[in-house]
Amino acid sequence: MVKNTWPDSSGYYGKYGGKFVPETLMSALSELESAYAEALADAEFQQQFNQLCKDYIGRPTPLYYAVQLTAKSGGATILLKREDLAHTGAHKINNALGQGLLAKRMGKTRIIAETGAGQHGVAVATVCAMLGLECIVYMGEEDIKRQAPNVTRMELTGAEVRPVTSGSKTLKDAINEAIRDWVSNVRTTHYLLGSVVGPHPYPMIVRDFQSIIGRESKEQVLAVYKRLPDYLVACVGGGSNSIGLFHPFYDDKDVKFIGVEAGGEGLESGKHSATLATGKAGVLHGTKSYLMEDEHGQIKETHSIAPGLDYPGVGPEHSFYKDSGRATYVTVDDKQALEGFRLLCDTEGIIPALESAHAIYYAAKMAKGLGQEILIIVNLSGRGDKDLDIVTKALGMGK
């Protein structure tokens, strides 16, 4: 069992977390917290979730020894946790399924969600189709342009995609709109938040549903290598795939956690999404955590080639891990992420999501110079079909 008992009863991870929301939502958050606690204690709910993880999502996803990538990197052994093979092509489905079942249990008929890369939106739309729930997805206009295939997928599975035109027209603004919708329709609607951000209990619920990634990885690595890994590497936007991988290893102190943030066009350019590397504590979207703000406390616009990392905040548990030193956070810029993307395509015949390509790049780089007995697990959080347009443009392929 994991001894990490965060969050505390007020929803805090150390000094991060909490519930900074309009009064209208406070009762809904309490209701969600109680419903979740009941679901956790309900064997039937757990059984239903586990069964669907297996039959619908296709879990467990493999832990794949990337032989060629390891050879090419020339050092430590690289294992890929293949979340890209989960139904809908990313880890996002784990949480969407869990919360979808929870919403149904709570008697909610309408689901709203935000999406950046579209992976969460697709996962929610998919689960809603399967569970017979109405689904509305808020997506920044900029992201709708960048991730067109995912918009089509959402629409095909019956979701209404609402373009968000405020602010930077990306993930941050989509969350603002989703919260406004929730405030207005809170009695009938469940807000199916897609990352470990937002007010308590969201960071906890999303983490718990995503922790299946880490639990499986632990079992799988122990089964083959009879030992725990030395490093876990995952990209961090809001931070759900990374917390999902890290959390079950929290008390295994010899396992080092490395979170990879988006360096965009470089930290010095100011155009990046490296919240933990460059930000400071503040309150955004209902939670106290690191965030990127200007000197007056206004939230900054961010940039990343990977829309799923293009967010000025980060989950409160990551802020807690950073301050306590449990995890190390590094940055990989757009160009390096593209290199990581190419590298995985070339060596393993796997097209990664641009988000995951950040983690791939860093893992390959750090593997070099380490002995082969060193085990690195990289979370390949999603597949890259959605990114072909961005990548072909960036690499100057096709016309």
The residues annotated as belonging to the active site are 92, 114, 381
Distances (CA, A) of 293 to 37, 92, 280, 298: 35, 27, 8, 5
Task: Tell how far CA 27 is from the center of its chain.
Answer: 26
> With CB under 8 A, what is the number of residues at the site for another protein?
38
Q: Is 136 in the site for another protein (CB under 8 A)?
A: no
Segment interacting with another protein (CB under 8 A) among 102-110, 232-240, 261-269, 284-292: 284-292
Nearest to residue 92, comparing CAs of 194, 238, 239? 194
Nearer to another protein among residue 254 and residue 295 (C-beta)? 295
The CA-to-CA distance between both ends of the chain, in Å, stands at 53
Conformational region of residue 158, where left means phi above 0, alpha means psi within -120 to 50, and beta covers everything else:
left
Q: How far apart are CA 16 and CA 281, in angstroms?
A: 8
Q: Is 5 in the site for another protein (CB under 8 A)?
A: no
Please give the single-letter amino acid code of residue 132. G
Nearer to another protein among residue 173 and residue 348 (C-beta)? 173
* Contact in structure between 36 and 201 (CB atoms under 8 Å): yes
- Which residue in the set 4, 13, 19, 289 belongs to the binding site for another protein (CB under 8 A)? 19
**Residue 162 beta carbon to another protein: minimum distance, rounded to whole angstroms:** 14
What is the DSSP secondary structure assignment for residue 248, as one 8-state letter? Answer: G
- Which residue in the set 34, 51, 184, 324 belongs to the binding site for another protein (CB under 8 A)? 184
Segment interacting with another protein (CB under 8 A) among 93-101, 185-193, 208-216, 260-268: 185-193
In sequence order, which residues have a C-beta less than 8 Å from that of residue 39 and are 6 or more positions away? 45, 46, 101, 102, 105
Q: Three-state DSSP class for 356?
A: helix
Nearer to another protein among residue 26 and residue 37 (C-beta)? 26
**Residue 127 beta carbon to another protein: minimum distance, rounded to whole angstroms:** 25
- Which residue in the set 106, 183, 345, 370 belongs to the binding site for another protein (CB under 8 A)? 183
Interface mask toward another protein for 356-375; x: CB under 8 A: --------------------
Tell which positions 222-281 bind another protein, by CB under 8 A: 281
Segment interacting with another protein (CB under 8 A) among 90-98, 125-133, 180-188, 362-370: 180-188
Q: Determine whether 187 is exposed, middle or buried from the number of CB atoms within 10 Å of its CB (0-12, 13-18, 19+).
A: exposed
- Which residue in the set 13, 16, 18, 303 belongs to the binding site for another protein (CB under 8 A)? 18
Q: Is 107 in the site for another protein (CB under 8 A)?
A: no
* Contact in structure between 306 and 340 (CB atoms under 8 Å): no
**Residue 183 beta carbon to another protein: minimum distance, rounded to whole angstroms:** 6
Tell which positions 145-174 bind another protein, by CB under 8 A: 166-167, 172-173
Q: Is 218 in the site for another protein (CB under 8 A)?
A: no
**Residue 175 beta carbon to another protein: minimum distance, rounded to whole angstroms:** 8
Q: How far apart are CA 143 and CA 308, in angstroms?
A: 9
* Contact in structure between 244 and 213 (CB atoms under 8 Å): yes
Distances (CA, A) of 183 to 30, 48, 314: 14, 30, 22
**Residue 92 beta carbon to another protein: minimum distance, rounded to whole angstroms:** 23
What are 275's two structure tokens? 């919240």
Q: Is 105 in the site for another protein (CB under 8 A)?
A: no
**Residue 338 beta carbon to another protein: minimum distance, rounded to whole angstroms:** 30
Neighbours of 349 (CB within 10 A): 8
Interface mask toward another protein for 20-39; x: CB under 8 A: xxxxxxxxx-x---------
Q: How far apart are CA 342 and CA 184, in angstroms?
A: 45
State the residues that interact with another protein by CB under 8 A: 10, 18-28, 30, 166-167, 172-173, 176, 179-180, 183-187, 281-286, 291, 293, 295-299
